[in-house]
Amino acid sequence: MKILLVNPPNSGKNIIEEKYGISLIRETFKGEPLSLEVLAGNLREEAVDIFDMKADNTPYEQKLKEFTPDLVGITAMTCEANAALRILKETKAYSPKIVTVAGGIHATINPEFFNQPFVDYVVIGIGKKTLALLVGYLKHENELKEIPGLGVQNNGKFCVSPQKTRQEDLLEEVLPARELVKKYKSAYYLNNFNISIDFVDTAYGCTNRCSFCCLWSITGGKYLAKTPQAVVRDIGFSESFCVRLVDANTFGNSRRAKEIASLIKQNRINKLFVVDARADTIARQPELIGIWKEIGLKAVVVGFEEIEDIGLRGFNKRTTADINTRAINILHENGINIIGDFIVSPEYEETDFDKLSDYVGKHKIELPGFSVLTPLPGTPIYEQFKEQIIIDNLDYYTLTNAVIRTKLSEKRFYQRLGQLYKRFYSQSLPKRLLSRLIFNETAIKTIHSAKKQLRRVFGC
Ligand code: SF4
């Protein structure tokens, strides 16, 4: 069977830029569509191609003509859901014979959204096994009723088959089909730094229940971690000098985190790592940061979200402001850069912006991110805020827009948001950070790929 897996184009919209002409001077990263590579890895008997519309300007119809797929599968986050629908509609219009499948985060938290005449199936959750079973069904190898986590029309009613995600659903023996995105390699880079980064998936889901987050729903609230051996194997296959471990909390299980570090050392893997970690994990196990620093940890993404206990409680974050501060200190004592996420509520007043700006400045967060609180459908805060939503168009659910009414005037709210970015993302930042975040003398001397990157960046 010929299967085309599609990563939809950038389709999110930003009011701050569109309406107020304020540019968010910040780093953007065009990452590889790892989730599609993972799906493709489990379909090796089929003729699969990945069409990354974020990296490839080929008109979609031309791609359909050239590849002639039997099945088109698309993955989408909430802000890409409309774009995914448009593409699936275009697919059916091009040929009603092509089987259309929607999957990804938005399909998982809101499968009904894809209940459309031009969408044949909706895949929920991780999807690796479900999609392979669906392909088997289409080839008359198994029964539809045996497939868990599949949304389909049944006698005019849209039904989703039950699913209990388990460890074996990770199918970790199956390698991601990285070769299918090799053609786009040059597009996967940090714009300002011109550095490419590979993604490696290490675990899925989360046991926490932060009220704004939809990540945990992928596994029904479980944290399903790949074995250290599988993680290190995948790191070994990555070609880039920098590796981003994609995971809600890479250090969530300290024994496993230590084992991964030890295997990286044993295998003499010389790479720089960026990981995600919760502040409470860092505060509880500071030794892990030291261990990982030794094997190349350069930056940690931490979702601080709020700077006061009351806000953290409101998000059910299960941390405190004191824990956040301890985590910041531990990371800085170890020379690790912090990519810190903060949530800006549309209910912010002038003083709230002042306090957040002071906090980030005082704690010297190297790369702060300011997400606007967005009630994503399917999350607890959606229920809390749904009556106050003034923008329904999911194109604006990019976490940069106030989709509920702002307390300040809308213009003032975006001015203050723009000021946060302006303060922490001055023009000189990229090169300064480049030297701190990516390179150090030893790495430059010993790692050939770093030399190549250096030549590309500085033209030397
Ligand atoms: S924000 Fe992070 S810790 Fe909270 S539920 Fe989501 S993935 Fe888990």
CA-214 nearest atom, ligand 1? 6
SS3 sequence of the chain: CEEEEEECCCCCCCHHHHCCCCCCCCCCECCCCHHHHHHHHCCCCCEEEEEECCCCCCCHHHHHHHHCCCEEEEECCHHHHHHHHHHHHHHHHHCCCCEEEEECHHHHHCHHHHCCCCCCEEECCCCHHHHHHHHHHHCCCCCHHHCCCEEEEECCEEEECCCCCCHHHHCCCCCCCHHHHHHHHHHCEECCCCEEEEEEECEECCCCCCCCCCHHHHHCCCCEECCHHHHHHHHHHCCCCEEEEECCCCCCCHHHHHHHHHHHHHCCCCCEEEEECCHHHHHHCHHHHHHHHHCCEEEEEEEEECCCHHHHHHCCCCCCHHHHHHHHHHHHHCCCEEEEEEEECCCCCHHHHHHHHHHHHHCCCCEEEEEECCCCCCCHHHHHHHHHECCCCHHHCCCCCCCECCCCCHHHHHHHHHHHHHHHCCCCHHHHHHHHHHCCHHHHHHCHHHHHHHHHHHCC
Residue 433 has pLDDT above 80, yes or no: no
Nearest CA to ligand 1 atom 2: 248
Could you tell me the pLDDT band of residue 378, with boundaries at 50, 70 and 90? Answer: confident
Distance in Å, CA 67 to ligand 1 centroid = 38
Does ligand 1 come within 6 angstroms of the Cβ of 1?
A: no
Distance 412 CA to ligand 1 centre (A): 30
Q: pLDDT tens, 327-350?
A: 999 999 999 999 999 999 999 999
- The Å distance, Cα 206 to ligand 1 centre, comes to 6
Range 374-379 average pLDDT: 93
Q: What is the pLDDT of residue 449?
A: 36
Is any ligand 1 atom within 6 A of the Cβ of residue 210? yes
User: Which of ligand 1's atoms lies nearest the C-alpha of 209?
Assistant: 5
Would you state the pLDDT for residue 444?
30
Measured from the CA of 207, which atom of ligand 1 is nearest?
Answer: 8
Alpha-carbon 313 to chain mean position: 24
- Is residue 32 within 8 Å of 188, Cβ to Cβ? yes
Range with lowest mean pLDDT among 15-29, 158-172, 173-187: 15-29
The residue to mutate among 108, 109, 212, 213, having the most atoms of ligand 1 within 8 angstroms of its beta carbon, is 213
Atom of ligand 1 nearest to the CA of 213: 6
25 lines ligand 1 (CB under 6 A): no
pLDDT at 26: 54
> Measured in angstroms, how far is the CA atom of residue 380 from the centroid of ligand 1?
13
Confidence of residue 456 (pLDDT cuts 50, 70, 90): very low
Nearest to 52 by CA among 174, 240, 180, 189: 180
Ligand 1 atom nearest residue 216's Cα: 5
Average pLDDT, the chain: 90
The mean per-residue pLDDT over the stretch 16-27 comes to 78
Please name the residues in contact with 369: beta carbons below 8 A apart, sequence gap of 6 or more. Answer: 26, 339, 340, 341, 342
Query: 405 C-alpha to center of ligand 1: Å?
Result: 25
Q: Which atom belonging to ligand 1 lies closest to the Cα atom of 278? A: 3
Asked whether 215 lines ligand 1 (CB < 6 A), one says yes
pLDDT of residue 128 exceeding 50, the answer is yes
pLDDT band at 110 (very low <50, low <70, confident <90, very high): very high
pLDDT at 391: 97
Spatial strand order in the sheet of 71-75: 47-52, 2-7, 71-75, 99-103, 121-123, 150-154, 157-160
* Residue 381 CB–ligand 1 contact under 6 Å: no
Report the pLDDT averaged over residues 41-58. Answer: 97
Answer yes or no: are the C-beta atoms of 28 and 187 closer than 8 Å.
no
pLDDT at 447: 32
Query: 15: CA distance to ligand 1 center in Å?
Result: 26
Q: Mean pLDDT throughout 375-387?
A: 94
Block residue for tokens 């290490």: 202
Atom of ligand 1 nearest to the CA of 276: 2
**What is the C-alpha to C-alpha distance for residues 32 and 239, in angstroms, rounded to an integer?**
13
Q: How much distance in Å is there from the Cα of 139 to the middle of ligand 1?
A: 38
What is d(CA 120, CA 163) in angstroms, rounded to the nearest whole number? 19
Distance (Å, whole) CA 281 – CA 43: 36
Nearest atom within ligand 1 for CA of residue 305: 1
Mutation probe of ligand 1 site: the residue of 77, 105, 109, 208 with most atoms within 8 A of C-beta: 208
Q: How confident is the model at residue 417 (pLDDT cuts 50, 70, 90)?
A: very high
Q: What crossing angle do the helices spanning 350-362 and 410-424 adopt, rounded to 10°?
A: 10
pLDDT digits (tens, 9 = 90+) for 167-189: 989 999 999 999 999 999 888 87
Residue closest via CA to ligand 1's atom 3 equals: 208
pLDDT at 195 over 50: yes
